[in-house]
């Protein structure tokens, strides 16, 4: 296990709280969080506020998320979409388009995408060219063209999903984590154990620490 999540207390813990609030559709009172020190204590605050649906007849949140995801993507896919469909089968849908389609489906919160290595290289090249033009005293319009190119690349650069998202089912699980509050509001069941697992998944994605290493007595902030 880890002793703390590695948060420095310089505001990054507020970003984590924002992620939890957005995923579970809750709002924490900041004064109530001042005494929170551990992962378990923050979870208890979440339990007091999150929407609850522990009805055994409620629908599985991940299954509900998958059906909504398939509804949004199927018209753009060349194969019948199933939970085990490889993400590569969606290669005809750009990352930016994928995000738009997920956003269009009511109740789903798009995940954070990442720029590819090629995209990062292109962006850094555009910045370097602009700085070179500035310090080499090239004509002003060359620097302007470089900045325009930089903005264009930022908009058009390919984006990718996290490496652990290999199938459509993996994508549905990730979306369940970021959209659980709205899914519960629409009838998905969510007991305490499921909420804890999703909570750990949010912590893991925010900090990069495997959720198996995060315990209830793990501190949120590195106090050393």
pLDDT at 213: 95
Of residues 183 and 224, more confidently modeled: 183
Q: Above 90 in pLDDT, residue 116?
A: no
Nearest to 46 by CA among 70, 67, 73, 17: 17
Confidence of residue 144 (pLDDT cuts 50, 70, 90): confident
pLDDT at 53: 67
Residue 160 has phi, psi (to 5 degrees) of: -135, 160
**Rounded mean pLDDT of the chain?**
82
Nearest to 221 by CA among 35, 29, 18, 26: 35
Nearest to 62 by CA among 191, 204, 171: 171
User: H/E/C letters for each residue in 25-72?
Assistant: CCCCCHHHHCCCCEHHHHHHHHHHHCCCECCCCCECHHHHHHHHHHHH
Q: Express each pLDDT in 118-136 by its tens digit.
A: 556 666 776 776 677 767 7
Q: Where are the domains of the chain?
A: 1-52+191-224, 61-113+163-188, 117-156
CATH 3.10.450 fits 61-113+163-188, yes or no: no
DSSP at 90: G
Confidence of residue 65 (pLDDT cuts 50, 70, 90): very high
């Amino acid at each position: 296990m880890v002793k703390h999540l590695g948060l420095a207390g310089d505001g990054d813990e507020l970003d984590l709280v924002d992620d939890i609030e957005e995923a579970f559709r809750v709002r924490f009172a900041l004064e109530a969080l001042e005494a929170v020190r551990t992962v378990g204590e923050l979870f208890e605050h979440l339990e007091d506020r999150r929407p609850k649906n522990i009805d055994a007849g409620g629908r599985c949140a991940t299954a509900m998320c998958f059906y909504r995801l398939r509804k949004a993507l199927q018209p753009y896919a060349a194969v019948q979409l199933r939970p085990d469909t490889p993400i590569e089968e969606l290669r005809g849908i750009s990352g930016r388009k994928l995000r738009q389609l997920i956003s269009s489906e009511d109740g789903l919160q798009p995940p954070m995408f990442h720029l590819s290595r090629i995209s990062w290289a292109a962006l850094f090249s555009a910045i370097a060219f602009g700085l070179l033009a500035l310090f080499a005293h090239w004509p002003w319009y060359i620097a302007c063209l470089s900045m325009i190119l930089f903005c264009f690349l930022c908009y058009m650069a390919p984006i990718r999903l996290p490496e652990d998202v290999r199938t459509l089912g993996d994508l549905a699980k990730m979306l369940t984590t970021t959209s659980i509050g709205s899914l519960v509001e629409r009838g998905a069941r969510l007991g305490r154990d499921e909420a804890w697992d999703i909570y750990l998944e949010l912590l893991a994605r925010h900090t990069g620490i495997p959720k198996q290493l995060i315990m209830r007595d793990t501190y949120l902030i590195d106090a050393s």
